[in-house]
Every structure is written in C-alpha cells, then in structure tokens.
Amino acid sequence: MWKNIEAAPADSILGLTEAFKNDSNPAKVNLGVGVYKDDAGNTPILGSVKAAERILVEKETTKSYLPISGDPGYGAAVQKLLFGENSEVITSGRAATVHAPGGTGALRVGAELLKKFKKQAKVWISKPTWANHKGIFSAAGFELAEYAYYDAGTMSLDFDGMLASLETVPAGDVVLLHACCHNPSGVDLNEEQWSKVVALGKEKGWVPFLDFAYQGFGAGVEADRYAVEQFAAAGVDFFVASSFSKNFGLYNERTGALTLISPTKEESQVAMSHLKSTVRVIYSNPPAHGGLVAATILADSALYDQWIGELDEMRDRIVAMRSALVEGLAARGVERDFSFIKEQRGMFSFSGLSDDIVSWLRDNKAIYVVGGGRINLAGLTTGNIDYVCDSIAEALKK
Ligand code: LMR
C-alpha cells in the first residue's frame, strides 16, 4: 500500500520534540513545544493534581463509560472557570459543554459540528496562528482565510489591520480568535480592543470561535477570561475550545472541553444534542481521568487555592525568564532591541529570529525553536539561560 506514497512531513511542533529527544548533544535545549518546565527543566505533576489523584484512587468505584458529553461535574467545573461562578451564562443554562480530548480535540469537534451546519462558511484565522489550526479546520473540509494580526515591523498587534480584515468577514463565516496568550506571537488585545472586536462580530454576524488554551498564563484565571465574558454578554452564539493541558499540567491526560454558548437555554439544548451526536461518531465518549482530576480540584476550595498558587508560580517563572532573556542578550552587547519580549504574554515569544538563525541554533547549538522564531520561554532555566543567550548573540553576529 505504501510503496508509491511519500512520507508525510514531520509535525512542525511535535516533530521538533522527536528530533530533540534523538539529539545526543548534552547541552541541548528544547524551546519548541508549549510545555511548562520548572527551573530544574522538569515538567512536574502539580501538587494539587497529585492530591486529587489520591482522592480519586480512594473514591473511584468504576471505570464504566462516561456519558458522551463527559462527567457532569466536569462540565460544570469547566463552565465555572470559563465564565466565573455566578455568571448569567451558567444560571440561565445557555452554555453546553462536552469534555473533549485536549484543546485540539475540542477544536476538531467544533470544526466537525460547524461543517454540518455552515457548509459554505470560511474559517478566518489570525496571521500568524498556531500551525495546527490550519490542519484542524482544513481536515474538517473548510476553506481558510487570514485576518491581519501581528505587525512584524513593530513586533506588536496590528489592530487597525485586524479590524479592517474583520470588517470584510461575511455573516455566517467563522472567526477563530485566541482568547489570551496568542500562540505563536504572545501579543494580545487589550480590553478596549476586545470590546471593539466583540461589537463588530455581533454587528456582522460571524461565528466567533475562541481558542482558550492558556487561561491563567496571561494575567490570571479571572483577567484572562475577559474576551469570553464579553462575547457572553453580547448574547451571540459562539464556541470556546478550552484546555487543562497547560494550566493544570495535564498534557497527556487530554483534558479539554468544547463549550457552545447560545442566546437561550432552548437553543443550548439543541446545540448539546448535536455536540453529542458529533462526539459519538469520533471518539464515542471521553477519557475520564484528567477530567475527574480537574473537577475534583475545582470543586474543593483548599485544592483550588493550592492550584492557583501553583499556576501563579508557573506564570511568574515565565515572566522572570522573559526578563532574563532580554537582559542576557543586552548584556552580551546584542544591538537589536529585544525588550518587546517582556511585553508579550503567555508561554511564547515571537522572538523575531529568522528561520536561518533558527536552523543555525538547532544545527550548531542543539537549541530547538519553532520555525518562524517562536520561543517557549518556559523551556528556559537559570541553568541554560547563559548558554541560550551566548548562542543567540553568536548567531546574530553571523
Ligand atoms: C504548542 O503550540 O506547542 C502546543 O499547543 C502543543 C501542540 O500541540 O502544538
């Protein structure tokens, strides 16, 4: 079957991790995939997660199937985190949540569902966006279009360009937005800018689809939900793909959710029925463990506080590494101004390093950066920061 078929290219992000694992250079540094590392270079299991797992080991009595939409406690916990405890969206019952296998699974379920009812729609993605967005929506059969987002000249948001592009989006098309911690740029909208985008979306009648994979990595779980709250208040139909991979460190438990918000409870019930029939033919029902862990933590005030503390620690360490990188490069006499890295949010920085420099760093220094110059700041540690700064400084002199 495969004799005359060419091998598919390696994934631009996960393929890098494979190459990194096979690299025998002891100085190697992985600044590719968006996975948090502590200062010792490990991706720890959070203390709150371990505690919840111990509770589950004691309490769990069955491994029977979950409902198609997942554990009901999980759906409720997801909504509480997305909208806030006393949100009108929750009390009015106009949100429908399914536990999806990770943020990617949530996006794909959403894409499949949209394809059933919005066959002619185009999906608008930011320029640039996470590489897998293109794959996910193309695989579901959508034509893609791009809206302006990042200005490589100023290393900042091209908000006028973004609005101008979004003005042209016809009613019924889907607009994929990063709710916070834009991947790959690290450049977010401020509250005023979000208000304008929400108003425009409502006026034009496009379907907003929010990718919310980094809640808590921007300014905190509450501040980061601003875009979600604004779309909810607008009373429009919209989708949210969220994930506990990063903020709970539950990467390999594939713990994500797709939430559909509708103007009324009745519409939300219809939405849930189609969500369920979509899930049933893809993976039937979700894996349980990660969702039960997250739900256990979110329902217990002591574990919740512990988790928030751990999340704050992760965010603070990344912020410290942003400064260490900027100052480390300046201290080595690098003339280019990298101070914009301190303004970016989340795990990533669009560093402005060219693809030639990215290749040079990988080939000569075993430093792995995603093509386009995206650096995962969480891969930097006090142990490797000097090596990384020396290497970038050397690369920039070439
Ligand atoms: C990333 O952007 O590195 C992460 O979201 C992991 C992934 O699946 O690509």
183 lines ligand 1 (CB under 6 A): yes
CA dist., res. 311 & res. 279, Å (int): 30
- Output the six-digit token pair for 302: 């002591």
* Position in ligand 1 atom list of the atom nearest CA 34: 3
Q: Is 368 helix (H, G, I), strand (E, B) or coil?
A: strand
User: Rounded to whole angstroms, what are the CA distances from 23 to 30, 35, 368, 371?
Assistant: 10, 18, 10, 18
Share above pLDDT 90 across residues of the chain, in percent, rounded to a whole number: 99
Specify the pLDDT at position 398: 80
363 vs 357: CA distance, rounded Å: 10
d(CA 169, CA 133): 18
Count CB neighbours of 126 within 10 A.
25
CA of 147 to the centre of ligand 1 (A): 21
Q: Ligand 1 in contact with 132 (CB < 6 A)?
A: yes
Alpha helices by DSSP H, 86-244: 88-91, 102-117, 131-139, 159-167, 191-204, 226-234
Q: Which two tokens stand for residue 361?
A: 């760093």
pLDDT of res. 118: 96
Residue among 166, 210, 157, 147 at smallest CA distance from 188: 157
The verdict on the CB of residue 30 being under 6 Å from ligand 1 is: no
Q: What is the pLDDT of residue 34?
A: 94
User: How far does the centroid of ligand 1 lie from the alpha carbon of residue 266, in Å?
Assistant: 35
Plot region of 172 (φ>0 → left; ψ -120 to 50 → alpha; else → beta): left
Coil, helix or strand for 361? helix
Atom number in ligand 1 closest to CA 102: 8
Which residues are tagged catalytic? Answer: 130, 211, 246
**pLDDT 10s digits, 95-126:** 999 999 999 999 999 999 999 999 999 999 99
Ligand 1 pocket, residue 361 CB under 6 Å: no
Q: Record the pTM.
A: 0.96
Name the residue with the closest Cα to ligand 1, atom 1: 34
| pLDDT reported for residue 89 | 97
Residues of the chain with pLDDT below 50 are none
Task: Kindly report the backbone phi and psi dihedral angles of residue 127, in degrees, each rounded to the nearest multiple of 5, phi listed first.
Answer: -110, 105
Ligand 1, atom 6, lies closest to the CA of: 34
- C-alpha span between 241 and 239 (Å, rounded): 7
The CA 246 to ligand 1 mean position distance, Å, reads 10
Contact 202, 234 (CB under 8 A): yes
Q: Which of 29, 26, 32, 36 is nearest to 10 (CA)?
A: 32
346 CB near ligand 1 (under 6 Å):
no
Is the N-terminal amide bond of 72 cis, ω within 30° of 0?
A: no
C-alpha 69 to ligand 1 mean position (Å): 24
Q: Which helix (H) or strand (E) holds 10?
A: none
Is ligand 1 within 6 A of the CB of residue 33? yes
Probe target for ligand 1 pocket from 31, 33, 182, 350, with the most ligand atoms within 8 Å of CB:
33
Q: Which protein residue's CA is at the shortest distance from atom 5 of ligand 1?
A: 34
